[in-house]
Amino acid sequence: MKSRSSGVERGGGRSSREGSLPTGGISDATFYHWKAKYGGLEVSETRRLRQLEEENGRLKKIVAQQALDLDALKMVLAKKW
């Protein structure tokens, strides 16, 4: 039976970067994705980016709710009484 490799060796249970950095239980792909996204940022910049992303998500929800409300109002006004 073939076994799938997830970047972790079966024998030692260590990935290629485990010796130098704590993994925190994340995959190599996640680590390198985060490194590419946040690698050049300072801690304060990373915090600010996270705050902006959260605010952006909140604002997107508000816009989506307003679009639903507008659509519902259009449907009500379109009815002929």
pLDDT of residue 8: 47
Q: Which residues contact 26 (CB under 8 A, 6 or more apart)?
A: 34
Domain ranges of the chain: 53-81
pTM of the complete model beyond 0.75 = no
pLDDT tens readout for residues 25-74: 889 999 899 888 888 889 899 899 999 999 999 999 999 999 999 999 99
pLDDT of residue 37: 84
17 φ, ψ to 5°? Answer: -110, 0
Whether the pLDDT of residue 11 is over 80: the answer is no
pLDDT of residue 41: 86
